[in-house]
Amino acid sequence: MHRPRHVLILGGTTEARRLAAELAADPALRVTSSLAGRVAAPRLPAGQVRIGGFGGPEGLARWLREQQVDALIDATHPFAGTISFNAARAAADVHVPLLALRRPGWVAEPDDDWHPVGSLTEAADALPALGGRAFLTTGRMGLAAFAHLEDMWFLVRSVDAPEPPMPARTEVLLDRGPFTVEGEADLLRRYGIDVLVTKDSGAAATAAKLVAAREAGIPVVVVRRPPAPEGVPVAADPAEAVRWLRASLT
């Protein structure tokens, strides 16, 4: 009797959970999802779950060998750049097929007032010229980039409470999407927000804030995605990832 083919999903995204649910239903597959452990109470996917880092590309390569992984799917957040490059190196070292599952980025519409930047530091540099009350939806990591903006007020939304350093004039809102356009519009009005800062995660669950900002005429500072590893095939959705996996395991 042949052993189930082992698929490792580097997860933490909605797409990763959808993919794990579909693959775990196949008895011919053994599915393991790896979560970074940055969220205190993550939504666990179907199948086996491991939490925590691997110890760089060498540690990941060792895990792939020891656990007899047949295919690796990087379905991490578009801004989790380090693990993506570690996955590319490890997969190449162990000769395991690798796919990147990346939701498409957001596309600006004619009425959007977007200000693309390359990093959180650049976002902080752009803010003073755009407004005085900023809505930060970049997560709880990286708030130190805005800590020096003492004249600005910030509303920070994240799943878990952020830790210092962060801007002195900050109110924290703990919440998890999906969000509605109506809810986001009410939030902008209630807090007097005049500029929004976000990362181009491309998630439909968090795109409502962009619509609300467009309708309110509020500028949006959009942090562009970091570059992805070269030579790694990319799927735009779980269905495409499943097709790639079936072809890779034949």
What one-character DSSP code corresponds to residue 224?
P
Adjacency order of strands within the sheet including 114-117: 114-117, 220-223, 195-199, 133-137, 153-158, 170-174
Indicate the domain borders of the chain.
Answer: 5-104+227-248, 114-223
Contact, 76 vs 11, CB < 8 A? yes
Query: Mean of the pLDDT values across residues 163-191?
Result: 94
Query: Mean of the pLDDT values across residues 46-52?
Result: 94
pTM metric for this prediction: 0.85
**Under the phi-then-psi rule, with left for phi > 0, alpha for psi from -120 to 50, and beta for the rest, what region is 83?**
alpha
Residue 12 reports pLDDT greater than 90: no
Share of the chain above pLDDT 90, in %: 81
Cα–Cα dist 7/243, whole Å: 14
pLDDT band (50, 70, 90) for residue 76: very high
- Chain position carrying tokens 């009410």: 186
205-211 long-range Cβ contacts below 8 angstroms, 24+ apart:
205/14, 205/177, 205/178, 205/179, 206/137, 206/177, 206/178, 206/179, 207/106, 208/178, 208/179, 208/180, 208/181, 208/183, 208/184, 209/135, 209/137, 209/179, 209/184, 210/106, 210/112, 211/181, 211/184
Cα–Cα dist 86/75, whole Å: 13
Residue 203 reports pLDDT greater than 80: no
User: How is residue 102 written in tokens?
Assistant: 């990346």
Contact, 22 vs 238, CB < 8 A? yes
Please indicate whether the domains covering 5-104+227-248 and 114-223 agree at the CATH topology level.
Answer: yes
Average pLDDT over all residues of the chain: 93
pLDDT band (50, 70, 90) for residue 220: very high
Query: Mean of the pLDDT values across residues 17-34?
Result: 96
What one-character DSSP code corresponds to residue 3?
P
Residue 227 reports pLDDT greater than 90: no
pLDDT at 187: 97
pLDDT band (50, 70, 90) for residue 153: very high
pLDDT at 1: 52
Residue 2 reports pLDDT greater than 90: no
pLDDT at 151: 95
Share of the chain above pLDDT 70, in %: 98
Q: What is the CATH number of domain 114-223?
A: 3.40.50
pLDDT band (50, 70, 90) for residue 250: confident
User: Does the structural domain 5-104+227-248 have CATH classification 1.10.357.140?
Assistant: no
pLDDT at 205: 67
Cα–Cα dist 84/165, whole Å: 27
pLDDT band (50, 70, 90) for residue 81: confident
Query: Mean of the pLDDT values across residues 130-151?
Result: 94
| Cβ neighbours of residue 193 closer than 8 Å, sequence gap 6 or more | 131, 133, 134, 135, 155, 187, 218
Residue 201 reports pLDDT greater than 90: no
**Tens digit of pLDDT for each residue in 109-133?**
999 999 999 999 999 999 999 999 9
pLDDT at 224: 94
Query: Mean of the pLDDT values across residues 89-102?
Result: 97
Query: Mean of the pLDDT values across residues 127-155?
Result: 95
